[in-house]
């Protein structure tokens, strides 16, 4: 069992994942089958789950390195520059032949979105895992993964991290297929939303109670913590010790764009843990960050700064999560990852 210690707080967060050019089209509603509808404004933003999470963590003041790939096209310089401008270390971003990743996003007036991904460089099997990248993974405080790159690549990175006793957080978004067993075995914290949780377990997730049961099923498969993102209903964490922690979502009067909110939440949770916060405190911190994220347009452009999150905490107070201790075996180490 790995238990985080104070030294982890001085090590960088390494995010391995996708970087996309997000082509956002404003629509009044989604088209029906066989229907053509008119769209409103179209904008291009840097995005991708990996890049979103790297920027979210860097904006929150934490040293962040990004491992990813871009193509050799007109979008690539913009994508790398967007990361650099927000303080992310991009020295391990490689350029390969072909197109960069693309995301076509249909954004509705209430902020809801539907997305079609074109993997491009992200899904190439020609990932370059250099000695520099290997060293970065094995010297990280936490490695953060998503599922918009090949599963085989995630397995390699997860195994590299685990062999060095570095905790691995996997955001379950980005792929519909089941998790590979050798990936599941090397994850410290798994973070799906309700839809992803249902897909991974084959269990209903319409209610909080159903989500908790589904999360418990994943814990029984060997995951030590499952952090479920419930959108406007908040979040819930289930761990191997039988604890269930619930966090309410912050109230937002005007939702502009929910794109990237889940990425913001996951990254903020990781930063909280690296900075020595408990699971409860990290969930409250992440909830504040995600609430700010959905009040601005775009994924990367909407990631809040640390100062903004801290002002939100001071202005509204920190909601205290509820904790159900369902067994007598409870970890009291606030930095326990797995």
CB 282 within 8 A of CB 185: no
| DSSP output for 47-116 | E-HHHHHHHHHHHTT--EEEEEEE-SSTTHHHHHHHHHHTT-EEEEEEE-SSPPEEEEEEE-TTS-EEEE
Q: What is each CA distance from 212 to 88, 196, 220, 229, 287, in whole angstroms? A: 35, 13, 12, 11, 19
CA distances from 64 to 8, 130, 155 (A): 13, 18, 21
For 28, counting Cβ atoms within 10 Å of its Cβ (0-12 exposed, 13-18 middle, 19+ buried), the class is exposed
Cβ neighbours for 111, distance < 8 A, ≥ 6 positions apart: 255, 256, 257, 258, 294
CB atoms within 10 A of CB 287: 25
In this structure, what token pair is assigned to residue 194? 């309700």
Q: End-to-end CA distance of the chain, in Å? A: 6
Question: 10 Å Cβ neighbour count for 267?
Answer: 32
How far, in whole angstroms, is CA 97 from its chain's centroid? 27
Distance between CA atoms of residues 212 and 238, nearest Å: 7
Compute and round to an integer the Cα radius of gyration of the chain.
19
Distance CA 77, CA 70 (A): 9
Q: Which of 239, 263, 279, 333 is catalytic?
A: 263
Q: Is 263 a catalytic residue?
A: yes
Q: Which sequence positions are flagged as catalytic?
A: 263
């Amino acid at each position: 069992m790995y238990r985080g210690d104070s030294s982890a707080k001085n090590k960088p967060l390494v995010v391995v994942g996708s970087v996309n050019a997000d082509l956002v089209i404003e629509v009044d509603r989604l088209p029906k089958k066989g229907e053509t509808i008119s769209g409103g404004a179209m904008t291009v933003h840097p995005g991708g789950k990996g890049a979103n999470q790297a920027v979210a963590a860097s904006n929150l003041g934490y040293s962040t390195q990004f491992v990813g790939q871009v193509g050799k096209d007109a979008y690539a310089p913009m994508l790398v520059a967007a990361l650099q401008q927000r303080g992310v270390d991009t020295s391990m971003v490689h350029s390969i032949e072909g197109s960069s990743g693309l995301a076509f996003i249909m954004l509705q007036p209430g902020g809801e979105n539907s997305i079609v991904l074109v993997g491009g460089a992200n899904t190439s099997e020609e990932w370059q895992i250099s000695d520099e990248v290997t060293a970065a993974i094995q010297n990280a405080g936490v490695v953060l993964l998503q599922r918009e790159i090949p599963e085989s690549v995630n397995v390699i990175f997860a195994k590299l991290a685990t062999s060095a006793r570095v905790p691995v957080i996997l955001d379950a978004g980005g792929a519909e297929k089941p998790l590979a067993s050798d990936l599941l075995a090397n994850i410290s914290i798994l973070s799906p939303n309700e839809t992803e949780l249902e897909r991974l377990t084959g269990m209903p997730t319409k209610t909080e109670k159903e989500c908790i049961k589904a999360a418990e099923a994943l814990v029984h498969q060997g995951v030590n913590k499952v952090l479920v993102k419930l959108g406007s209903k908040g979040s819930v964490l289930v761990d191997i010790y039988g604890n269930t922690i619930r966090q309410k979502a912050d109230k937002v009067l005007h939702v502009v764009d929910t794109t990237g909110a889940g990425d913001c939440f996951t990254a903020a949770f990781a930063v909280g843990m690296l900075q020595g916060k408990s699971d409860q405190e990290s969930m409250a911190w992440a909830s504040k960050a995600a609430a700010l994220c959905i009040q601005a347009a775009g994924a990367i452009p909407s990631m809040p700064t640390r100062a903004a999150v801290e002002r939100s905490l001071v202005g509204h107070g920190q909601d205290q999560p509820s904790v159900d201790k369902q067994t007598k075996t409870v970890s009291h180490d606030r930095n326990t990852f797995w």
